[in-house]
Amino acid sequence: MDHGPAILVVNGRTLSRATLASWLRTQGFGSVEEAPSSDAASACVRKPPQLVLLNVVAADCHAGDAAKAIRSSLPAIPIVALVDPACERGLPHILGNTTRNLFSTTEPPERLLAAIHTVASGGTYRSPCFQAAEKGADGVEAIPGSPSLTPREIEILLLIAQGLSKRRVAEAVHLSVKTVDNHCTSIMAKLNVHNRVDLARYAIRAGLSEP
């Protein structure tokens, strides 16, 4: 049963592209197309998707060009970059300002589903490792001027900032809803906020989510 957006999988490696597309279909995404990086923009024009998954791997020198071509041709299409850890340091050069949505390939595949649904519904998704790197920290105090949050609390705060419910957060981080609720209580106590709305506002002010 199709329960998601029409997706275009862009990857310079044919086998990886086919494998990801096949897996997405088993997860219920009925409309999944594939295209090599060199033909991504043309594929978008021929059959416009609702979301593009762009694999940024070390061996694919065309990923950045593909992202820029897609953005130039169809600026409204959201792009989620699936980032190989070997490419993390070069992301600003590779992607420029083409997308804010970054998914680390070190994360479990279940989180990719959460990322897809978040971005398809108008939100922004960034894996916690990218958020921490942007804030210049390796876990604790990754948010400037905030009390010390644990790495897990930061991860949960980022997902809440992206609009995920506690149930969806629990699924993404492989914890029970009760455990996530306990983490949320701790986060709110440390940040001196009293509900999820204020928590989201804090995340926006801290630059963790777009308003």
Q: Are residues 110 and 11 in the same domain?
A: yes
Q: Distances in Å between the alpha carbon of 138 and those of 12, 19, 127, 203, 208?
A: 31, 32, 13, 18, 16
Average pLDDT, the chain: 79
pLDDT band at 127, cuts 50/70/90? confident
pLDDT at 89: 64
Query: Bigger pLDDT: 191 or 47?
Result: 47
Query: Among the three residues 125, 158, 173, which one is the final residue of a domain in this structure?
Result: 125
Which residues, listed in sequence order, are joined to residue 79 by a DSSP beta bridge? 52
Nearest to 5 by CA among 80, 101, 93, 85: 80
Q: Are residues 71 and 169 in the same domain?
A: no
Name which of 14-28, 54-68, 143-157 the model is least confident about: 143-157
In a domain, 19, yes or no: yes
Is residue 30 predicted with pLDDT exceeding 60? yes
* pLDDT average, residue stretch 4-27: 89
pLDDT at 175: 85
Q: Are residues 97 and 187 in the same domain?
A: no
Phi-psi region of 121 (alpha: psi -120 to 50; beta: other; left: phi over 0): alpha
pLDDT at 74: 86
Query: Among the three residues 73, 101, 125, which one is the final residue of a domain in this structure?
Result: 125
Domain count, the chain: 2
Domain of residue 153: give its range: 136-205
Q: Are residues 65 and 149 in the same domain?
A: no
Q: Are residues 114 and 201 in the same domain?
A: no
Q: Are residues 88 and 149 in the same domain?
A: no
Query: Among the three residues 125, 148, 174, which one is the final residue of a domain in this structure?
Result: 125
pLDDT band at 18, cuts 50/70/90? very high
pLDDT band at 186, cuts 50/70/90? confident
In a domain, 177, yes or no: yes
In a domain, 79, yes or no: yes
pLDDT band at 143, cuts 50/70/90? very low
pLDDT band at 81, cuts 50/70/90? very high
- Specify the pairing of strand 79-83 against strand 32-35: unpaired
In a domain, 167, yes or no: yes
Top mean pLDDT of 22-26, 88-92, 156-160 is at 22-26
